[in-house]
Chains A and B, each alone.
Chain A
Amino acid sequence: DIQMTQSPSSLSASVGDRVTITCRASQSISSYLNWYQQKPGKAPKLLIYAASSLQSGVPSRFSGSGSGTDFTLTISSLQPEDFATYYCQQSYSTPPEFTFGPGTKVDIK
């Protein structure tokens, strides 16, 4: 089974800050890595798919990079609406496991 880890587990940041979240897979997953944002009481929202492709309608301040085992999600200038929990997810396994990372909570400093 492929295990996913994220760091940090939480962070405090201010509006306007550049924020980077890291996701690591226990084995190579090529570029089969997706990022989601979840706000309290709401369903997750797809931000980035295939490691670096921006989902339609998602602001360009969000970007993703990486391949193999190491990936990053970057928010170039944090906005008030970006305070949320972020999850990475691998979609490489066959048969599918769709393993999620444990999440990174971004809150207000």
Chain B
Amino acid sequence: DADVTQTPRNRITKTGKRIMLECSQTKGHDRMYWYRQDPGLGLRLIYYSFDVKDINKGEISDGYSVSRQAQAKFSLSLESAIPNQTALYFCATSDLSSSATGELFFGEGSRLTVL
């Protein structure tokens, strides 16, 4: 089983619908991230959370919200999806303890298409 699991892996939805992408991890990491990947733009950070009570906006948070339900779970919501939110979304985790060096562990990605 994957250490970082994203659901759904693929979703097609219509403009205006509410969508939730879920991420769960078994690595015991305190830090979780949501990234969006668009062709030619690389990965851009949407939101990140350093622990259950700490939520921070990334560079492209408009139109998104998140919930850190537990240390192991971090959900991304699109309250009213629009076509330009069509992208590949990645959840990632990390553990920046004093001995760690910042490697991110990625889920397999969730491909979202908004029609």
Q: Do these two chains interact? A: no
Q: Contact residues of A with B, CB < 8 Å?
A: none
